[in-house]
Structures are given as C-alpha cells and as structure tokens.
Amino acid sequence: MGTSYKYKCDECGYEEEFFTGGRPMTKDYHKRTEEAEEELRSAALYGKYGESIRQLMKNEREKIYINCDTELYQCMECRQFSVQIAKEMYMNRQDFTMSVEFRHECPSCHSALLRKTRGSITFCPKCKMFTAQLVSLGKFD
C-alpha cells in the first residue's frame, strides 16, 4: 500500500509526482525499512533520544510501534520535496501515550523538513510562490 502525490504549479510550469509507502513492494523496500527500524531502536537504547525514551525502549520494547515507511516531506527553507523514511515512534498504554517524530534534514540545504499531509496548496520548489497545487492523490497496492 502506498500513496502518490502529484504537484503542479501554474505560475512556472513545475510538475512532479512522488510515491511514498510500499512502492515498489520489493524485498529492497522491506530491507530498507527494517534496517531503519533497527537503527532507530538501537539509537534509542543507546540513549540518543534521551533517558525517558531509553527506559521505555528497554522496558516496553514490544509495546512500541515504529513507523519507518517512506513519506513525503518538504523543506521549510528551499521548498524542495523529498521522500524520506519517516522515523516515528508511538506507544499507547491506558495511562500514557507517546509519539515522537524525529527531525529530518533537507538533502539540499540541511534545513528542517516538514511532513506533507493533506494541504492542497503549498510553496513551489521552483518559483517559491505559494502556488503549487496537489492535483492528484492516489492510492495503490
């Protein structure tokens, strides 16, 4: 299961389509997300994300859900889109909910990336105007 996003800008003619999630559903994709997941777990165990996360990972490992699917991000500075492995951790207990999303860096300018969710208009990576439109949002298996 994956999602495709197509952005189009009427101002400058920019048009690009991105695929996130399991496409292509290959062994490679699974290997990549599994590796990312393992990396995240060991970094957490090593204390990279602070003491409280380290303790949780140590004591409640099986209750922690890790999302390492690919998602679409956009840079807040240079407005480039990029598909990145998500790196999110959740934990749900009756008395406690944890949700951590790790910071992603833009591959071109190293600024912070923002996850693209539903918003249909965004900044165009080419002309930088607030004119890029999400023209299609597809689902595929």
Binding residues with Zn ion: total (CB under 5 A): 14
For the bound state, the minimum distance from the C-beta of residue 117 to Zn ion, rounded and expressed in Å, comes to: 19
Which of 109, 112, 114, 137 is close enough to bind Zn ion by CB under 5 A? 109
Residue 70: both structure tokens together:
């690919």
Distance CA 131, CA 73 (A): 17
For the bound state, the minimum distance from the C-beta of residue 81 to Zn ion, rounded and expressed in Å, comes to: 10
Q: Work out whether 106 is an interface residue with Zn ion (CB under 5 A).
A: yes
Contacts of 95 (CB under 8 A, 6+ apart): none
For Zn ion, the closer of residues 44 and 106 by Cβ is 106
Q: Where are the alpha helices (DSSP H) in the chain?
A: 27-45, 51-59
In the block, residue with structure tokens 């008395």: 95
Helices 27-45 & 51-59, crossing angle to 10 degrees? 120
113-115/96-101 β-pairing: unpaired
Q: Work out whether 86 is an interface residue with Zn ion (CB under 5 A).
A: no
Could you give the string, one character per residue 10-39, with x where binding to Zn ion holds by CB under 5 A and - elsewhere? -xx-x-------------------------
Q: Work out whether 123 is an interface residue with Zn ion (CB under 5 A).
A: no
H or E, element range at 19: strand 15-21
Which of 75, 85, 86, 89 is close enough to bind Zn ion by CB under 5 A? 75
Q: Catalog residues that contact Zn ion under the rule CB under 5 A.
A: 9, 11-12, 14, 75, 77-78, 106, 108-109, 111, 124, 126-127
